[in-house]
Amino acid sequence: MTISRPTAHVLSGGAVKKPGLRRTKIVATLGPASSTYEMIRALAVGGVNMFRLNFSHGTHEDHAARHNIVRDVEAELKRPLAILADLQGPKLRVGTFAEGRVKLEKGAKFRLDLDRAPGDTQRVCLPHPEIIEAARPESHLLLDDGKMRLRVLSGDKSHLLTEVEVGGFLSDRKGVNVPDVTLPIPALTEKDRRDLDFALELGVDYIALSFVQRPEDVLEAKEIAKGQAWIMTKLEKPQAVARLSEIIAVSDAVMVARGDLGVELPAEEVPIEQKRAIAEARFQGKPVVVATQMLESMISVPTPTRAEVTDVSNAVYDGADAVMLSAESASGQYPLEAVSVMARVTRRIEQDREWSPQDEAFRPDSDGTVNGAIAEAAWQVAESISAAVIVAYTASGLGALRISRERPECPILALTPNDDVARRLNAVWGVYAMSVGQEMPVLNVEAVVDQAVELAVSEGYVKKGDKLVLMMGLPFGTMGATNTLRVVTV
C-alpha cells in the first residue's frame, strides 16, 4: 500500500500558513465510544494523527478490530495514520476487605502483609513482596491514586506497619504507588509481554512502556521489538524523572503521562517536569507527547474549561510534538467535539505572533553530529530564502526527526520508501509523510530532485517560482546518512 497525504492540509507560497495546517499532532485513545468505522474515520478527518490502543482495558480481539478499522480508514483517506499500543505495566494493588471497604482514620496504625485473608480497619493484604522488602521506615505509600497516604514505621519480609497520614475510604483492589522507593520489578509484566507480542504481530507503529524506572527497562522492550515498532517511554515515576536524559537517550519517543506522575510527585512539580521533559526530548530529537486530563471535562460536557484550553495551549507553546486525548475520546460522550477543540486550539496557538519567536528562543543547541548540522543548515537556508517547503528523503525517518527538531517555519515533507516509517512520522511535529514505495529513485540525484519537485507541486506545497530545500543522503539507501543539502527553484 502506498500512502500519501490529501491536498486539503498543505501549504503553498513561501511558507504562508493555510488555515488547515497544524504542526502539533493529535493522539486519540480508542474505546467503547470510538470503535466503529464511521467514528474512527470522523476522528481522523477531524484531525487525529495517531490512535492509541489502551491495553489496560479490552481484549486482544477488541484491539485487533480497532487496529484493522484504522488501517481501512488509512487506505480510504490515502494518508498515514499512526497506531500506538499502550501497555498496562505493573499494577500494584491492595487485596480485598471483608466488608468491601474500610475507613482509614488519620493517625491510626495500619498493617500491610502477605496474608490473603480479607482485610479490615487494622490490616489488608499487599500481594507484592517486592514492595514490602524494598520499603524502609519513613517511606510513603499512596493509595487509590494518591487519595490516602501511609508512612512506613517498621517492617520485615512479611509485613509493613504504617501510620495513616491522610485518611479516607479504601476499598477492594485499589492501586498502590510507592514514589520514594525504586522497586525491583520489571516494567514488563507477563501480561505486558503477551500484549507486546500481540501488538507487534498486529503491526502497530509505537509501543508505550508504562512505569519505567531505569534505562534498562526501555532497552528490554527494544530488544523484544527489534525495530518493528518505536518504543515510547511514559514518564510517570520519580525514578524516571531523576534519570530523564539517560532514559530519553535510549527511547524512540516520550510521553509525559501526567496521571501517575501527578500521583507520585507533588502536584506543583508536574508542570516543571513537563517542561523539562519536552526540552530534553527536543534536544535529543525525540518526539514527545503530553497526555492525561487535557480536556477531562469533555468526557461529559461538549465544551472545555478555560483551564483545559490553557493546558493544551501551554503544551504547544512548550514545543510538544503531540497532545493526547484519553477518556475524552475512548469513553466520553463527545469524542468528535474533543478532537475539534484540540485541533482548533493547537492551530490557533501556532498562528499567534508570539508563538514563533518563543519557539525560536527554545531552539536547542547543536548536537555536534553531521546529520544534525545538515538539518540545522536546512532550517537556516529555508528561513533565509523563505522556502515554501523542506523535502527530506528518509529511509529510517531520522532525517525528518532531525529537521523537525529545528522547528522550521515551513512544512517538512518526508518522502520514504517505507509505509511503517511514514506512519511513525505522522506523530512528529511539522512532518507530513508520504510513502513513495519503490518509486523512490536510488541512483540519480537529478531524478531525486525531479521527484521531489513533482510531489511538492502535486501535493500543493509549492507553485511556480517557489523555492524548496531538499535533504538527502548519499550514497542512496544508507540508513541515517543524511549528508546533502540542495536548493531548488520550481
Question: Which are the catalytic amino acids?
Answer: 52, 93, 234, 292
Distance CA 450, CA 458 (A): 12
Query: Tell me, what amino acid is at 19?
Result: P
Do strands 482-489 and 467-473 pair parallel, antiparallel, or not at all (unpaired)? antiparallel
Distance CA 34, CA 66 (A): 9
Burial-class residue 159 by CB neighbours within 10 Å (0-12, 13-18, 19+).
Answer: middle
The string of DSSP codes covering 203-253 is: T-SEEEE-S--SHHHHHHHHHHHTTSSEEEEEE-SHHHHHTHHHHHHH-SE
3-class DSSP assignment, residue 160: strand
Distance CA 212, CA 218 (A): 7
Measured in Å, how far apart are the chain's first and last C-alpha atoms?
Answer: 29
Grid cell of 434 as nine digits: 508520504
Distance CA 389, CA 267 (A): 41
362: CB partners within 8 A, 6+ apart: 279, 282, 318, 319
By residue count, the chain amounts to 490
Do strands 101-104 and 109-113 pair parallel, antiparallel, or not at all (unpaired)? unpaired
Of 313, 306, 298, give the one whose Cα is nearest residue 347.
313
Distance CA 16, CA 409 (A): 9
Query: Nearest 5 degrees, angle CA 328-CA 334-CA 338?
Result: 60
Distance CA 340, CA 336 (A): 6
Helix (H) or strand (E) holding 85: strand 82-86
